[in-house]
A and B are shown apart, each in its own frame.
Chain A
C-alpha cells in the first residue's frame, strides 16, 4: 500500500506544529522521518495513521491491504504501551480478540509473533518482569500479529539503553529482511535512519516542513559491508549538515514560544 500525505498542516491551539506537508510512503519501502526535537514528527505520524485529525490537508491510502491484514495501519510506540495486567501473550492477544478468528488461527498468530520476536519462553510473563528491550519486543510482536499493511514506529528504540537498542535494531532489520514491509520510522538518531530507511525525510524545526527527502540507494542488507561505509558516512554527514542548524535553534526555543 502507498500512502500520500497531501498539504497537511496542524495547529495545537495557537501553536503551529506542521506546515503544508506533502509526503509519499511507497509500498514495500521504509521511510525514515528525522528532524529536531519538537518539530512535529510524532504529530505527523499520528496524522498519517489516522490517530490525529489534521487542521488542514488529508492523508490518502492507495491500494488494498493484504487479505490477512487485521489492522492495516499499526503503531509501535516509544513507551511500548503494554497493558501491565496482561501477560506477554495476553498483550499480543489484545490486538486479535475483537476480530473474528477461530481459536486455532488466533493461537497460531500469537505463537508466530512470539517466536519471531524471541519471546516464546516469556509468553506468561508480566510486563513488569521484563527488561525494556523485551517490552518493546512485545510491542513489536503485537504489531506483527495483525499483519499490518503499513507500520508506524515512533522512536521505538529511544527508551532503551545503547546496547539493547543495537540488539533490537538488528532484530528489526532481520524481520524486515525476511518480509517486505512498508513502514514509517520516526527517529532522532541519524544512524538508525541511515541503517533502516529506503528514503529519509528531513523536517525543519517547528513548524515542521519537509526540508528534503533523501534516498538511500544501498540495499539494506548490504549496509553493514565495509565497501559501503564511506558512502553511508557521507550520507550521515549530509543529514547532519541539514539538521544541525535547525537542531541548535530548536534547542534554544522556549517550549511555549
Chain B
C-alpha cells in the first residue's frame, strides 16, 4: 500500500437505524449506497468498482445500475469491509477502477428479505422473479437468451452443434479429457433434448476435480524452477444476477467490459493472440465470447468456427483441452481454463500450440452474471 495515495470521499449510513421492517437486505444496501453517493455528489454512472459482503457484488451493481470494471465479494465476516478498503486501494492504484463503492446492509432484527447473495430464497430477486417459472439449473437459465441470439444472428442449431464437434477434436488429443470419442453434428442433434434448443451434447459435463495457482512478482519468478507465465492484462465485470434482465440478449455486457479492459491493459491486438480459452458451460458461450471479445464481428462467429479457424491446425486454437463440453466441468470451470492457458504458455499442453506466446483466458460466472479475462505471455 502506498501511504496517502487513496482517500474516502463519500460516507453514509442508512437513512434510519434500529428497527426497519419496511426494507429488505438489498434495500438497506441500496439506501446506504444512495446516501453515500449523494454525500459526495456522485451517481451510479460515476462508480466503476463495487465491493460488498453478504450480498453479491453482482446483485448490488445491477440493483443500483452500476457497470463495474472491478468487483469484490470477499466475505470473511464482520471485518470484510476493512478488507474491501484495502483491496479497493490496491485496485485503484493498479488502475483496475477509479471510484469504488463499498456497501453493507443487514436486516439483523427484522429479518426482511435475507437469503440474497448467490441464493435463490423465495424473497431474493431470483426467488421472486425467476424461480416461480420453473428454472432449475444452468440448462434452463444460461440458455434463456439463446433463441433471441440465434434469430438476431441468423444462426441455427447446427451452429451450436459444430462448437461441440470441434471441441471434441481437441479433447481427442488430451488423455485427461472425460470424452474423447469423435462426434458429428448429427450425433449432437440426435442427443437427448434437455431444454429446447439445447441437447445433451451442447451442455457441459459434470465431473469432480480441482486446481490451484501460485503467483508472485515477475522479479521473484526468475528464481523458480518453472517457466514463468506473465500476466499481461486483466479484466472483470458483472452485469446482473437475473439472466432475464440482461441488457442485450445477443451480447454479454460483462464479457465486453471485461475483455476490453484486459486487451487495453495488455496493449495487444487480437492478431497477437496465439491461444484462446472461452469458458464453455454450453455451446453458445464460445460464439458469444468470440463476438464480445472482438475476435469476430457479430454474426461471424459461427462461420469462423465452422471454417475450422478454432480447430486443430486453425489460426486461433480455442478450448484446446476440450473445454467444459468434453474435458471436465466441476461447476466452476474457470480454474481449468486458466490451467490450460498456463500449460500452453509453458509449452507442455497435450495439444500444444507450437510457438504460442500470448494466451487469453476468458471466464463467465453465473448465467452471464459476471466475467473475468486474463491475458498471459511467456515472454518477459
Q: Do A and B come from one complex?
A: no
Residues on A facing B (Cβ under 8 Å):
none
Residues on B facing A (Cβ under 8 Å):
none
